[in-house]
Copies of this chain bind each other. A is one copy, B any other.
Amino acid sequence: MTTAKRDTYTPETLLSVAVRVFNERGYDGTSMEHLSKAAGISKSSIYHHVSGKEELLRRAVSRALDGLFAVLDEPGAVRGRAVERVEYVTRRTVEVLIAELPYVTLLLRVRGNTATERWAMERRREFDHRVADLLKAAAAEGDLRADVDIRLATRLLFGMINSLVEWYRPHPDAVGEREQLAETVAHLAFDGLRTAR
């Protein structure tokens, strides 16, 4: 039944193994040999599915980027006042980050030694710029504090959100945890921790 195990491999299962190994060893530190061992299939079987590890990286970060960019087209992100839209995008970004945790973790760790890595970093910056534009629009509508620098606030907001990949570990028994986390991030960023005075 050795071949049966091989037959169960699809590009998707191979991708999830590759993402785990990339996150553990770093993309640079991962060889096709490492991927072959982790997947339990030969290198030639991997080449049957993909052209090499860079294609696996591209597919993995695309999954994260597609999830993030899709948020920007949701009704909550395109209708209403800018402050409500950016708060919606903040909550949904947290939810996508948690739903696609290994893929977004990889995206955030990419450092730019290959064309695919540079492309991923460029797309990630584009997403950040789209959110920064929403924050600017909210400031222009008078809904954000005038004494806060929007560029700094954008960095800090993403610093807070992206830190989740470092410390968040899903609890299988905690239903609704994802929504609670998204709510907490949005409350902290937009309303602050302090009781209204």
Identify the A interface with B (CB < 8 A). Answer: 83, 135, 142-145, 147-149, 152-153, 155-164, 166-167, 180-181, 184-185, 187-196
Contact = CB atoms under 8 A, between A and B. Distances in A.
Contact of A191 (B142, B145, B155, B158): B145
Contact of A187 (B148, B158, B181): B148
A193 B194 contact: no
B194 A156 contact: no
Given A159-B163, A191-B194, A192-B192, A184 B144 contact: no
Which of A135, A155, A160 has the largest number of chain B CB atoms within 10 A?
A: A160
B187 A144 contact: no
Contacts of A149: 180, 184
A196 B142 CA distance: 11
